[in-house]
Amino acid sequence: MTKNISKLKLACIIIYALPAMPLAALTLPLYILVPTFYSETLGLSLAAVGTALLCVRIIDAINDPLIGYGADKLRTGFGRRRTFFAISLPVTAFAAFMIFWPPIDATIWYLGFWGAVLSFGYTACLIPFYAWGAEMAGDYEKRTTITGWREALTLIGTLIAIALPFAIGTDNAGEFHGLALLGVVIALALPILGALTIWKVPEPREYTKQAVSFADGFRHLQNNKPFLRLITAFFVNGLANGIPATLFLYFVSDYLGTPEMRGPLLFLYFLCGVLGVPLATFIAKRTSKHRAWGYGMLAATLIFAFTPLLSQGDVVAFAVICALTGLLVGFDLSLPASIQADVIDIDTAASGEQRSGTYFAAWSLSTKLSLALAVGFAFPLLGLFGFQPETNNEQSSLALDALAIIYAWVPAILKLGAVALVWNFPLNAEIQRELRDKIENP
């Protein structure tokens, strides 16, 4: 990832990417560990916890477009990306601390309130952070380098989120538990690393020529055909990734019969994802970003197709699948975000306003919708075949077969659809250079 980048510029890119680690470290536990901790350890009703977190998701969906629009319109002498990012840091850090280290008598209202604050702070932090990265460079290849470093550090943050809570356990609310440890780490690391980014990374140059109203901006977004094509592919691929993510724990526990391997296999998957980012960057520089992403999705489809052929106890074979598909998740993380920066250029050239925040808000909303739909699709479909996720009883062979097929073959079909959308994507390095010339030299 260092070719054709000066040492100074590379250092700037790495410093920019550092906050991705604590931001990623709070994401995975929020979806996986927090519901279990508040229900099992604190004794809150599982239904109440689910309702509270659903309300937080609804608030989150409203936050995205509003924050994206606000992040584009806010202009101060300190910089519109840096200002929004700086304001959000203490809010996000403190809310994460409160959620991950609650008092032993925390109520459902406590979870709902601090969950909503965290949702707002996280979105207000992430959207300007991603927009900042998209605007740091106008070069087709350098954008991949920026997103590559950011997503590699995102995966490292995810590994930290997996490891820390289990280091000292999460089953004793009256003591300093693993989730509290993670909360302290995030509360300290996010403001420190964020402040370093604000201090050392300059505000990107803005190429706005005229302000665009909300209605006109929405029309420009609708007319940006490459963006619509890209976000559709991203949504379909996100759904393809979300289904096995939702069912991973059940597949390892019920289908393979090795619940003790859930943590190690999950850690292996994300560890290989870190290694996959430079591989994705390497291939993209020798082909194109969209074609490299297509290769990655095709390879993941082929590898995943063997999963339902496994039998109970085939942990080594599944570990190989986890390692290889983990390697390819680096393609899913680093390349689409880089292409997104390119399709924003189409809007900037057409509308006259640089609206990266609005586009990344749409991107964020698409991610959340795909994850929500994955849960809403996978569990009811499994239920039709008699799979009972809440029971410790032995599952029927029909239910286990359905679990394997929904876990692997349904996502494989979805990925092929995403490949079809991006394979001949109408935006390459040459066209992007022409767009940048129009933006920078009107």
- 27-41 pLDDT, tens digit per residue, is 877 777 777 778 777
pLDDT above 50 for 437: yes
**In the predicted model, what is the mean pLDDT of residues 161-181?**
75
pLDDT above 80 for 96: yes
Query: Quick one: tokens of 238?
Result: 């996100």
pLDDT above 90 for 332: yes
Query: Quick one: tokens of 140?
Result: 């087709």
Burial class (CB in 10 A: 0-12, 13-18, 19+), 6: exposed
- How large is the angle between the packed helices 20-36 and 140-168, nearest 10 degrees? 40
**In the predicted model, what is the mean pLDDT of residues 9-27?**
92
**In the predicted model, what is the mean pLDDT of residues 310-320?**
93
pLDDT of residue 208: 83
**In the predicted model, what is the mean pLDDT of residues 173-196?**
88
pLDDT above 90 for 410: yes
Q: Angle at Cα 63 formed by Cα 58 and Cα 65, nearest 5°?
A: 115
B/e letters for 42-70, b = 16+ CB within 10 Å, e = fewer, are bebeeebbeebbeebeebbbebbbebbbb
pLDDT of residue 167: 67
Query: Quick one: tokens of 80?
Result: 């519109």
Looking at per-residue confidence, does 252 or 383 come out higher? 252
Residues of the chain with pLDDT > 90, as a percent, come to 45
pLDDT above 50 for 2: no
pLDDT of residue 373: 81
pLDDT above 70 for 89: yes
**In the predicted model, what is the mean pLDDT of residues 203-223?**
85
pLDDT of residue 5: 43
pLDDT tens column, 345-373: 999 998 888 899 899 988 888 887 887 78
**In the predicted model, what is the mean pLDDT of residues 223-232?**
94
Contacts (Cβ under 8 Å, ≥6 apart) of 387: 250, 254, 395, 399, 400, 402, 403
**In the predicted model, what is the mean pLDDT of residues 98-123?**
90
pLDDT of residue 3: 41
**In the predicted model, what is the mean pLDDT of residues 100-126?**
90
- How large is the angle between the packed helices 7-17 and 108-135, nearest 10 degrees? 160
pLDDT above 50 for 6: no
Residues of the chain with pLDDT > 70, as a percent, come to 94
Secondary structure percentages of the chain, helix, strand, coil, to 5: 80, 0, 20
pLDDT above 70 for 304: yes
- pLDDT class of 1 with cuts at 50, 70, 90: very low
| Residue that the structure tokens 């390497």 belong to | 282
**In the predicted model, what is the mean pLDDT of residues 362-391?**
79
pLDDT of residue 209: 87
Contacts (Cβ under 8 Å, ≥6 apart) of 232: 421
Q: What's the whole-number average pLDDT of the chain?
A: 87
Which DSSP string corresponds to 354-379? --HHHHHHHHHHHHHHHHHHHHHHHH
pLDDT above 50 for 56: yes
Burial class (CB in 10 A: 0-12, 13-18, 19+), 245: buried
d(CA 132, CA 84): 11
pLDDT of residue 416: 96
pLDDT of residue 90: 95
d(CA 439, CA 345): 8
**In the predicted model, what is the mean pLDDT of residues 247-276?**
88
User: Any idea which of 153-167, 231-245, 275-289, 305-319 has the lowest mean pLDDT?
Assistant: 153-167
- Do 259 and 252 meet the contact criterion of CB atoms below 8 Å apart? yes
pLDDT above 80 for 415: yes
d(CA 433, CA 11): 25
Q: At 407, is the secondary structure helix, strand, or coil?
A: helix
- Do 33 and 170 meet the contact criterion of CB atoms below 8 Å apart? yes
Q: pTM value?
A: 0.86
Q: At 414, is the secondary structure helix, strand, or coil?
A: helix
